[in-house]
């Protein structure tokens, strides 16, 4: 099987390759093509990735190219992991909202919208070129943020796409360790959208162990996801790490104003990693890769690709899929992040208990924002940007929406063809 990685020069990529090296018996990959316009990065990452495979005794070969069509031809699956504008654009996303007293974050709020506007047109162009070269049957696994909006864009254009994030698998691993259970035996009742989700159940052998987790380990979990212990117990849920931007917005803004932007930290980590990857004696994944983020990224991606391409029985994964009636309060074409059955025919959301209003209200509001954000990304226009921002719960005021829209368009003008005139 051939696997293509668009954005293969990312320092994340060795995580994926390391996961492939460890699953030789279940994921029959014999060729991995890393596609990236940055020759230095992709060749550095590609060389190290090949050494990882060789050291593990895996027969797959790694190729690198800047040519998308050459890279995806004959691929069974294409994984997209892009950052349009690089860490410089991310640094802007994390800081320009502060002028309005709003949180600066690369996947939600005004910063997340800026990233969506830059990213959606690029990903749609890539997906269409993939379809022309690799065919309609090729799976696209989208790891590009904001995952929900980008995946919805792909699905609306008829692509065979599934969105993936590592939040759920990270929590699954933590829960399993705390419960002394095998990770494969832990099933999540994962509810919400990408970066807006709650664990409303943790099932082991059909028994919900979430009450036990909240009784015995709430303090640890609260630190992990930045949530008050009593709130989690009252709600009987564990929120994702990203809910702190909603539930503790003002405190997060104050913290951001005193801390170094994450983009700058990641840039330093990436520089360090690339130097390590260049060392011909380095044949295993460095510990410093954990600083880059994306815990269990490799496991989530490899397991999903296996489920989509192996032709075996359906597996359960938390992915981003069409709603299709799963949440009655959302339109069918909304993209939600839930536990789903996945096989070679695609991913289908698993039905779950009615979502309580305390969660459903926020899910519905952010879904409406994502609809408007996608319209702005596809059609362009400063007013569409302002309308999307006004609908976002983290902005929600006329003056802030207008000011942020003007700043966003000005800062990202080079990436927005409609804004250059």
Tens digits of per-residue pLDDT, 351-402? Answer: 999 999 999 999 999 999 999 999 999 999 999 999 999 999 999 999 999 9
Specify the residue for token string 């992040």: 337
Are residues 200 and 232 in contact, defined by beta-carbon separation less than 8 angstroms?
A: no
Q: How far apart are CA 239 and CA 245, in angstroms?
A: 11
Q: Which two tokens stand for residue 180?
A: 């002394």
Query: Which tens digit of pLDDT belongs to each residue from 115-147?
Result: 999 999 999 999 999 999 999 999 999 999 999
The closest alpha carbon to 36, from 61, 73, 1, 11, belongs to 11
- Kindly provide the b/e burial profile for residues 324-343, where b requires at least 16 CB atoms within 10 angstroms of the residue's own CB: eebbeebeeebbbbbbbbbb
Q: How far apart are CA 374 and CA 117, in angstroms?
A: 8
Give me the helices (H) in 279-356, please. Answer: 297-309
pLDDT per residue of the chain (421 residues) written in tens, 0 to 9 = 999 999 999 998 999 999 898 865 577 899 999 999 999 999 999 999 999 999 999 999 999 999 999 999 999 999 999 999 999 999 999 999 999 999 999 999 999 999 999 999 999 999 999 999 999 999 999 999 999 999 999 999 999 999 999 999 999 999 999 999 999 999 999 999 999 999 999 999 999 999 999 999 999 999 999 999 999 999 999 999 999 999 999 999 999 999 999 999 999 999 999 999 999 999 999 988 877 766 677 889 999 999 999 899 999 999 999 999 999 999 999 999 999 999 999 999 999 999 999 999 999 999 999 999 999 999 999 999 999 999 999 999 999 999 999 999 999 999 999 998 6
Sign (positive or negative) of CA dihedral 406, 410, 415, 416: positive
Pick the catalytic residue from 242, 246, 296, 369: 242
- Kindly provide the b/e burial profile for residues 354-379, where b requires at least 16 CB atoms within 10 angstroms of the residue's own CB: ebeeebbebbbbbbbbbbbbbebbee
At what angle are helices 109-134 and 147-156 packed, to 10 degrees? Answer: 40
Residue 140 CB neighbours (<10 A):
27
Told to judge if 369 belongs to the known catalytic residues of this protein, a careful annotator would answer no
The closest alpha carbon to 148, from 323, 268, 26, belongs to 323
| pTM assigned to the model | 0.96
Q: How far apart are CA 295 and CA 289, in angstroms?
A: 9
Q: How far apart are CA 162 and CA 325, in angstroms?
A: 17
Omega within 30 of 0 (cis) for the link into 146: yes
């Amino acid at each position: 099987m051939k696997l293509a990685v668009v954005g293969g020069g990312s320092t994340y990529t060795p995580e994926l390759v390391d996961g492939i090296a460890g699953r030789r018996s279940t994921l029959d990959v014999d060729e991995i093509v890393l596609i990236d316009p940055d020759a230095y990065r992709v060749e550095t990452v590609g060389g190290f990735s090949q050494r990882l495979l060789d050291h593990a005794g895996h027969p797959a070969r790694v190729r690198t190219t800047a040519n998308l069509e050459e890279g995806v031809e004959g691929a069974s699956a294409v994984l997209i992991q892009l950052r349009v504008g690089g860490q410089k654009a991310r640094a802007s996303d994390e800081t320009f909202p502060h002028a309005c007293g709003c949180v600066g974050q690369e996947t939600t709020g005004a910063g997340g919208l800026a990233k969506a506007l830059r990213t959606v047109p690029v990903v749609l162009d890539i997906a269409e070129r993939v379809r022309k070269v690799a065919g309609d049957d090729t799976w696209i696994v989208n790891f590009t943020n904001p995952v929900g909006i980008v995946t919805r864009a792909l699905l609306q254009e008829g692509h065979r796409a599934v969105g993936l994030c590592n939040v759920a698998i990270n929590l699954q691993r933590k829960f399993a360790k705390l419960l002394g259970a095998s990770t494969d035996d832990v099933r999540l009742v994962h509810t919400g959208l990408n970066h807006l989700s709650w664990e409303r159940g943790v099932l082991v052998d059909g028994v919900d162990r979430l009450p036990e987790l909240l009784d015995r380990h709430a303090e640890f979990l609260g630190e992990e996801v930045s949530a008050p212990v009593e709130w989690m117990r009252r709600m009987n849920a564990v929120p994702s790490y990203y809910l702190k931007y909603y539930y503790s917005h003002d405190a997060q803004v104050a913290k951001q104003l005193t801390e170094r932007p994450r983009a700058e930290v990641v840039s330093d980590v990436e520089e360090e990693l690339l130097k390590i990857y260049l060392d011909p004696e380095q044949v295993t994944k460095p510990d410093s890769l954990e600083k880059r983020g994306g815990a269990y990224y490799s496991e989530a991606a490899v397991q999903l690709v296996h489920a989509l391409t192996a032709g075996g029985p359906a597996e359960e994964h938390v992915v981003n899929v069409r709603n299709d009636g799963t949440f009655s309060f959302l339109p069918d074409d909304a993209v939600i992040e839930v536990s789903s059955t996945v096989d070679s025919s695609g991913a289908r959301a698993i039905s779950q208990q009615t979502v309580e209003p305390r969660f459903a209200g926020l899910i519905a509001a952010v879904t409406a924002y994502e609809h408007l954000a996608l319209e702005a990304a596809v059609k362009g226009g400063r007013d569409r940007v302002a309308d999307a921002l006004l609908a976002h719960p983290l902005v929600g005021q006329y003056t802030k929406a207008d000011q942020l829209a003007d700043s966003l368009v000005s800062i990202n003008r080079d990436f927005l063809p409609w804004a250059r005139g």
